[in-house]
Amino acid sequence: MTRVALVTGGTRGIGAAISKALHAKGYKVAANYAGNDEAAAAFTAETGIATFKWNVADYESSQAGIAEVEAALGPIDTVVANAGITRDAPFHKMTPEQWHQVIDTNLTGVFNTVHPIWPGMRERKFGRIIVISSINGQKGQFAQVHYAATNAGDLGIVKSLAQEGARAGITANAICPGYIATEMVMAVPEKVRDSIIAQIPTGRLGEPEEIARCVAFLAEEDAGFINGSTISANGGQFFV
């Protein structure tokens, strides 16, 4: 049986690695993206993975996009809620607009993504929900009050959904990546990057593919007894 997986923010960075890993495992993958049409087209051309455009911060857009995915590929069995943004600012300089942008995408976006799919998972008695959180949702971070709050909230979503979905064969788990060698991280000045690496016991940044392998494992049917868990993939930088 070929399963269908939706990966939000699935055409770039960690999301792209996740989409590719699930595709390689035989899933029909739908990679969601919010705005970069050129990157999405290039991603599909490279991988053959279908892309679907909508803003996870908007519930009606998410509903419509998910309906489009299911019409094209079939019922969604696996959801990887990966989409996220940053609008870094110290708290005393943070604007309500910055706060709401991050909350709406990183926290409400998980609700908007999972909620329309949840009834079908319950009916079919199977589902895998994997939320990509962050090390900064576990330990906090300067100038990221909103970002840390959303990622900590995502862990609460996972723990609650795990309890609600367990008897219906649905698992919900989270992955908290540390600092990963994505375009965003590699774009920071080298001195800043070196200072980050100095805090990581393994002495290097993580690779997107390492996070993708965690997702692929949690998505398996054999991972059904792992539920409500958080995998910290941060090179030993922070322990919970």
State pLDDT tens for residues 58-90.
Answer: 999 999 999 999 999 999 999 999 999 999 999
59 is catalytic: no
Q: Band of the pLDDT at 188, cuts 50, 70, 90? A: confident
The predicted pLDDT at position 184 comes to 81
Q: What is the pLDDT of residues 93-115, one digit of tens each?
A: 999 999 999 999 999 999 999 99
Q: What is the pLDDT of residues 195-230, one digit of tens each?
A: 999 999 999 999 999 999 999 999 999 999 999 999
Choose, from 27, 33, 147, 179, the residue flagged as catalytic: 147
Q: How far apart are CA 222 and CA 211, in angstroms?
A: 18
DSSP secondary structure letter of residue 205:
-
- Is 56 within 8 Å of 62 (Cβ atoms)? yes
The predicted pLDDT at position 180 comes to 97
Residue 230 structure tokens: 């958080």
Mean pLDDT of the chain: 97
Q: How far apart are CA 128 and CA 126, in angstroms?
A: 7
Q: What is the pLDDT of residues 118-153, one digit of tens each?
A: 999 999 999 999 999 999 999 999 999 999 999 999
